[in-house]
Each structure stands twice: as structure tokens, then as C-alpha cells.
Chain A
Amino acid sequence: MIKIKYVEANGTEHRVQAEAGASVMEVAVANNIPGIDADCGGLCACGTCHVYIDPPWFETMPSPKHDELEMLNFAAGAEQTSRLSCQIRLGEGHDGIVVRMPAGQH
């Protein structure tokens, strides 16, 4: 099991555990964690599962593909550590990962 900490924009923390293979978005939705909308359901087509990944985990992830970068390009408040959480598959190496949510999903 992988431990994940989600932090809402207002600082509220949610600690959950998940199996390897699920996406960071899927785990949030399955646990009713507010702050990740995921309108397109994981198709990398809307940008409403935008999150910030704390270092050092950010550095360990495969680079985003072209379609993810396109959607991030229009996400409000996008930063260096921004990702779409539907595109991040959890692996054993992600144990303890910290995921922060933006003020809103557009």
C-alpha cells in the first residue's frame, strides 16, 4: 500500500492509502477528497484534476506527455510542479507522496 497526503488549497489535509496502479486522481475521487474535479474522467482532456506535486516526488515522475502539457498550459495557477493527477500512476516508489490542490479547477 502507498500512503498519500492530499492538501487542499485552504490547508486541510487528507491522508489515504492506495494500491499501486491507481492514478492520483482516481484515489482522490474514490475517497471523496474535495479539490479535484476530474470532469473528463481521466482522458487528459479538461485540466480539472490539476495538482502540485511536492519535491522530491515530482522529480521522480516520468515527464508529462504533449496532451497533458497542453491542458496544463491553460490551468489557472499552473507552476513548475504542476501535473494532471489523472496522468500520474502510483507506484511503490511514491509512498509518502504529498499532493497539493490549487484554489480552483477550470
Chain B
Amino acid sequence: MNIGTQLNLRATVAEIPLDEIDVSDPALFQNDTIGAYFERLRREEPVHFRKDGKYGSFWSITRFNDIVEVDKNHAAFSSDAKYGGITIWDRGMYRQNFLNMDPPRHDDYRKVVSPIVAPENLAKLEGFIRSRAIEILESLPLNQTFDWVEHVSRNLTTQMLATLFDFPYEERHLLPYWSDIAIVDVNAGTSVTSEQERERQLQPCYDYFARLWNERVSKGTGNDLVSMLAHSEAARTMTQDELRGTIILLIIGGNDTTRNSITGGLLALNQNPGEYQKLRENPGLIPNMVSEIIRWQTPLSHMRRTAVMDTVIGGKQIRAGEKVVMWYLSGNRDNGVIQDADQFRIDRKNARHHLSFGFGIHRCVGNRLAELQLRILWEEIMRRYSFIEVMGQPVRTYSNFVHGFESLPVRIHK
């Protein structure tokens, strides 16, 4: 977006009556104008109520510190599926998993899977990720335009996920396929037009994992996620729906998010050639850049809670029963906390201080694995290619939840 377009957009947004602003409209994310709406809310109405929006009535929390306050206060702001779970849309057929549970059940279930991303396991995964990243990068065509999302972002994260699940390697394409079905907005124009249809299309996924589960229950304990779940104390008390919900959560969590940060980072470097040049001159900036990319992209735009008691946030009275949306994408642009938040700077100080992983007990369990994947990928990119050029406009996802890309045309210059 050039400066003129940005100013026009700001003027347009400034004329909309505050109570008519609906930041839940997925079209605003798809056409990448959402930032102007959040900018106005942060300035004029940082805790904003929208009555009868596209996804019902809801509070928007748009400033960094207010978001942390809500995220930490799970006693007042529930994640439980029975109130609507963790996304702005109320899914009638929501499956329970540890993300849309409150303590104490949340704690037990989360602890089953968290060892897979503990420090010792990450150290083991590093060599594997590097060899896969090298393999992918070496296979890319030179001097011709191709889709970065499909060939790199999706490819690498799928291989990673297949490894974590010990999923049959030749069928690994099923994982992002199911992930997309599980998360797509029913109005996005795909074949998933209702929650019933979503469940129907996910049935093969449930069947597939039930088969893996049965195989691994009878085997000894393994280090993959399915075996860890199958042999866990917690799984004995899980219902079938909870098991399915947990599998789906792990597929989505390990898939869309890192995929879109891989794409978003390359786009940001192209939009900021000075930063790309800094990277060429000093690849030692990569670990810091990874945090900045994750802030900049904010691969999940929001997390939702439901107030279960009356609480005041940012001076506004929120009542029990109301829907509360923490817009991480907005908080990550809050100049009150992050200096020059609308600038992408790979050498930013305190780059780790961002909202993309959430805070509190639901903080992203795979955060260090995501960082590891991005770091290794960029180390290997910089060893090989001086410039990966974005050749056209990205196609962005129609979603107010997954903040990402369908495609990004690029060309490699050696």
C-alpha cells in the first residue's frame, strides 16, 4: 500500500461512526486494510463494543497491556468451549481440547503434550529441521517465478508436523489439508459452508488418527504426539470428542501459524529493502529477526474469551456472559508499548516482547519450536540466496483468526 492509499484509507475509516466499526469482518483482513481500523480504535476507543456485528456482539481489546490483563485473568475470562471457546465465531460443534478448557482440566491435558517441545526434544529436532530445510531450498527453481507458500512455507511445516506425529510420510499432505478444513471461515467460498459440512469433511481425519492411536496403544511408549497422548494418564479420562479436539488443535497449531510467519517474513523483507540489506550484512541478526517476524505477522489475529464475572478493563465495564476478543494483531502495533510499532525492524530491541504467542496459562506451547523452524530456515536461505524477490501481490486469507496467505509469487536470485 503506498502512502496516498494509506491516507485515503485513514480518512475513510475516520468517517465511520465508532459504534458501526466491525473489526471482525474477514474481508478487512483479506484486503489488508484492518490495520487502519485497529489504529483508530487504539486511539479513540481501545476497549470497544460492537453490537450485532458479523460475528455477533463482542468487545474488542486493542491495546497491548489491556490484552495481557485479559489473557492473564482466566478466572474472569473463560476459554471454555461451553461458552464459545477461543474464536470469535461461536461454533455449535466445538470439540474440547486444552486450549478451550479452563483449569484444572486444562492443566492436566496440556502437560501431556508439552514435553514434545521441551528443551531436550527441541535439541534433537534441530538437525532434522535443518536437513529438511536444506532439501527444500536446494530443490527450488532458480530464475523463475513460483509460489513460496506451497513450495516452502507449507512444505516445511507439513514435514515438521508429520515428524511430530510420526505420521506416514507419504501421506503427510493430508495434515495441512485437514488443518485448512478445520479452520476455514464458512463464508470464505470453499466447500466448507457449514459446521456440519466441516465435521463431515473431517471424519476421515478422525478415522485416520483413531487407526494410528490403536496401533500405538498396543505398542510401547513412543516419542511422537500420538503415542504420548495414547499412553498418558489424562487420555484415559478424555472423551472421544476431547481426543479428536486435541488432535485437531495440534494439527492447526503446528501448521498455519508457522507457515504464515515463513511467508510473512519474506514479504516484510521485500517491503523493507533496508532491513533485507541489514540481514545480508549481518546474518547474526536472524534470531532477533525471527521474533520481529512473529510480531509483525501475528499469525493468529485474535483469541476470544467469554467473561464469567463482571470486570472492568481499560475503564469499561464488561459484564458476565459477554464475548471478549483480544486482538493480538492490534496490540502488536501499540506504540504505547512497542516503539515505532508500525515499522518492521530486524534489529529491534526487546523484539521478544510481543503478543503473538499470547500470555498466561494458554500461552503457545510450541513457541520455541516455531522460532527454531524460522531461525534454521533463514540461516539456510542466507547461506544460499542473496535475494528472494516477491514478484506480485500476495493472496491473503479470508479470516479474522488465521492471519495469513494463500499464495505469494517469488523468484530466487542466486
Which of B119, B350, B363 is A46 in contact with, Cβ under 8 Å? B363
Whether A76 is near chain B, meaning CB under 8 Å from some CB there, is yes
Which residues 52-103 of A sit at the B interface, judged by CB distance below 8 A?
67, 70-71, 73-74, 76-77, 102-103
Which residues 16-60 of B sit at the A interface, judged by CB distance below 8 A?
none
Q: Are B353 and A41 in contact (CB under 8 A)?
A: yes
Q: Which residues on the A side are within 8 Å of B103 (C-beta)? A: 70
Q: Which residues on the B side are within 8 Å of A37 (C-beta)? A: 352
Whether B68 is near chain A, meaning CB under 8 Å from some CB there, is yes
Whether B319 is near chain A, meaning CB under 8 Å from some CB there, is no
Interface size of A as a range: 20 to 34
Whether A106 is near chain B, meaning CB under 8 Å from some CB there, is yes
Query: Within the complex, what minimum Cβ distance (angstroms) separates A85 from chain B?
Result: 15
Q: At the interface, is chain A mostly helix, strand, loop or mixed?
A: loop
Q: Are A40 and B118 in contact (CB under 8 A)?
A: no
Whether B107 is near chain A, meaning CB under 8 Å from some CB there, is yes
Q: Are B107 and A73 in contact (CB under 8 A)?
A: yes
Which residues 5-46 of A sit at the B interface, judged by CB distance below 8 A?
37-41, 43-46
Question: Once bound together, how far apart are the Cα atoms of A64 and B289, in whole Å?
Answer: 34
Total residues of chain B contacting the partner, CB 8 A: 26
Q: Are B117 and A67 in contact (CB under 8 A)?
A: no
Q: Are A74 and B350 in contact (CB under 8 A)?
A: no
Residue in A closest to B74 when the chains form the complex, CB atoms = A70
Residue in B closest to A44 when the chains form the complex, CB atoms = B72
Task: Kindly name the residue among B111, B122, B363, B367 whose own CB sees the greatest number of chain A CB atoms within 10 A.
Answer: B363
Question: Once bound together, how far apart are the Cα atoms of A70 and B361, in whole Å?
Answer: 7
Which of A47, A71, A103 is B119 in contact with, Cβ under 8 Å? A103
Residue in B closest to A42 when the chains form the complex, CB atoms = B353
Q: Are B120 and A103 in contact (CB under 8 A)?
A: yes
Q: Are A104 and B368 in contact (CB under 8 A)?
A: yes
Which of A45, A71, A102, A104 is B68 in contact with, Cβ under 8 Å? A45
Question: Once bound together, how far apart are the Cα atoms of A58 and B72, in whole Å?
Answer: 26
Q: Are A43 and B119 in contact (CB under 8 A)?
A: no
Take A43-B68, A43-B72, A45-B71 as given contacts and tell me if A104 and B122 are in contact as well, using a CB distance cutoff of 8 Å.
yes
Residue in B closest to A104 when the chains form the complex, CB atoms = B119
Q: Are B119 and A74 in contact (CB under 8 A)?
A: no
Q: Which residues on the A side are within 8 Å of B72 (C-beta)? A: 43-45, 67
Q: Are A41 and B110 in contact (CB under 8 A)?
A: no
Q: Which residues on the B side are within 8 Å of A46 (C-beta)? A: 357, 359, 363
Question: Once bound together, how far apart are the Cα atoms of A23 and B117, in whole Å?
Answer: 28
Take A37-B352, A41-B353, A43-B359 as given contacts and tell me if A77 and B71 are in contact as well, using a CB distance cutoff of 8 Å.
no
Q: Which residues on the B side are within 8 Å of A39 (C-beta)? A: 352-354, 357
Take A40-B353, A41-B353, A45-B72 as given contacts and tell me if A74 and B368 are in contact as well, using a CB distance cutoff of 8 Å.
no
Question: Once bound together, how far apart are the Cα atoms of A106 and B352, in whole Å?
Answer: 12
Q: Which residues on the A side are within 8 Å of B321 (C-beta)? A: none
Take A43-B68, A47-B363 as given contacts and tell me if A106 and B353 are in contact as well, using a CB distance cutoff of 8 Å.
no
Q: Which residues on the B side are within 8 Å of A77 (C-beta)? A: 118-119
Q: Which residues on the B side are within 8 Å of A104 (C-beta)? A: 118-119, 122, 368
Which residues 94-131 of B sit at the A interface, judged by CB distance below 8 A?
103, 107, 110-111, 114-115, 117-120, 122
Give the 8 A-B CB pairs with smallest separation, nearest first: A104-B119, A45-B359, A103-B119, A76-B118, A39-B352, A41-B353, A45-B72, A45-B360
Q: Which residues of B contact A (CB under 8 A)?
A: 68, 71-72, 103, 107, 110-111, 114-115, 117-120, 122, 350, 352-354, 357, 359-361, 363, 365, 367-368
